[in-house]
């Protein structure tokens, strides 16, 4: 009998802007894992870890968009137009970004271009570095005894300077989380002190948070920059400023070597 069901003339393309979280693949959302497993093509940034790419459908096309500091493999305009082109070809595209796509991730800019071109899209939030990295470092971002508010700021401005609203950043009883600030760390500490923060204010730098190479250094605005430089910390690293940093000594729970062994044991016994 003749098949009476008319096949669709074309598959409608769609872009999923997905947050990959800060590194540990187990911090992906269920929705992210499902979309990665079904996608036709994935366009991913340098912050997305290898363990996360294991969830991508084996036959999906993989496009690396770069975005390491000073090494923009693809310019932002090229990425925007690539997403439009792939969706117009009828593909389901996962645009995968580290952390949350709407926090210092240019997700908004990419979605604006899709909207202008009438492309369907969805946004899947991810755990942003401030939340994931602070959790794994044992530093609660708010605490009734120490901080009633929390600011997320970027330490890397377009012109290369760290020209921030210092008056707002030095207030007491708040936590300041600085993304992309590693290279400007000495200048940031200097500016905070110059704008009235006590030199003894606690500060932490967390390198490679939530993954096996995580390292945390804590100190004060007056001494930490030097020690971080001596330790050779590399990107990605997150800066946390405020009294909550003092809690790290008692709350640090993620000791990568031990925790990774435990996870392997779990996987084997499951």
Judged by beta carbon, residue 13 or residue 185, the one nearer ligand SAH is: 185
- The beta-strand segments (E) located in 6-103 are 14-19, 41-45, 61-66, 92-97
Q: Please say if 45 is a catalytic residue.
A: yes
**Least distance between ligand SAH and beta carbon 8 (Å):** 35
Determine the Cα–Cα distance for residues 210 and 191; give it in Å rounded to an integer.
29
Site residues, ligand SAH (CB under 6 A): 22-23, 47, 97-100, 103-105, 128-129, 133, 179-180, 206, 208-210, 235-238
**Least distance between ligand SAH and beta carbon 233 (Å):** 10
**Least distance between ligand SAH and beta carbon 206 (Å):** 5
Judged by beta carbon, residue 59 or residue 159, the one nearer ligand SAH is: 159
3-class DSSP assignment, residue 77: helix
DSSP at 11: P
The residue from 45, 91, 97, 100 that is catalytic is 45
3-class DSSP assignment, residue 76: helix
Judged by beta carbon, residue 13 or residue 101, the one nearer ligand SAH is: 101
| Phi and psi, residue 92, nearest 5° | -95, 120
**Least distance between ligand SAH and beta carbon 270 (Å):** 26
Question: Please, are residues 174 and 235 in contact by the beta-carbon 8 Å criterion?
Answer: no
Q: How many residues does the chain have?
A: 270
Judged by beta carbon, residue 40 or residue 121, the one nearer ligand SAH is: 121
Determine the Cα–Cα distance for residues 96 and 47; give it in Å rounded to an integer.
10
Determine the residue with CB nearest ligand SAH: 99
Cβ atoms within 10 Å, residue 233? 18
Q: Please say if 54 is a catalytic residue.
A: no
Determine the Cα–Cα distance for residues 107 and 123; give it in Å rounded to an integer.
9
The residue from 67, 91, 97, 100 that is catalytic is 67
The residues that are catalytic are: 45, 67
């Amino acid at each position: 009998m003749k098949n009476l069901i008319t096949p669709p003339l074309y598959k409608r393309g769609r872009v999923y802007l997905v947050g990959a979280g800060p590194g540990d693949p187990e911090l992906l959302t269920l929705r992210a894992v499902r979309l990665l497993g079904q996608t036709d093509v994935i366009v991913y940034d340098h912050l997305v870890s290898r363990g996360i790419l294991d969830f991508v459908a084996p036959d999906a096309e993989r496009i690396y968009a770069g975005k390491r500091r000073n090494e923009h493999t693809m310019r932002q305009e090229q990425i925007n137009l690539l997403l439009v082109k792939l969706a117009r070809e009828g593909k389901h595209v996962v645009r995968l970004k580290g952390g949350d796509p709407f926090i210092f991730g240019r997700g908004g800019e990419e979605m604006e271009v899709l909207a202008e071109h009438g492309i369907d899209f969805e946004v899947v939030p991810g755990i942003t570095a401030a939340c994931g990295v602070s959790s794994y470092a044992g530093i609660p971002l708010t605490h009734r005894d120490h901080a009633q508010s929390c600011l997320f700021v970027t330490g890397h401005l377009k012109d290369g300077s760290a020209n921030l609203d210092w008056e707002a950043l030095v207030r007491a009883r708040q936590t300041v989380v600085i993304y992309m600030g590693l290279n400007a760390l000495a200048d940031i500490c200097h500016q905070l002190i110059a704008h009235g923060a006590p030199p003894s204010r606690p500060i932490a730098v967390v390198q490679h948070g939530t993954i096996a190479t995580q390292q945390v250094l804590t100190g004060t605005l007056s001494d930490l920059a030097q020690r971080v430089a001596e330790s050779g910390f590399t990107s990605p690293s997150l800066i946390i400023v405020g009294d909550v940093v003092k809690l790290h000594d008692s709350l640090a729970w993620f000791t990568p070597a031990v925790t990774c062994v435990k996870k392997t044991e779990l996987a084997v016994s499951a």
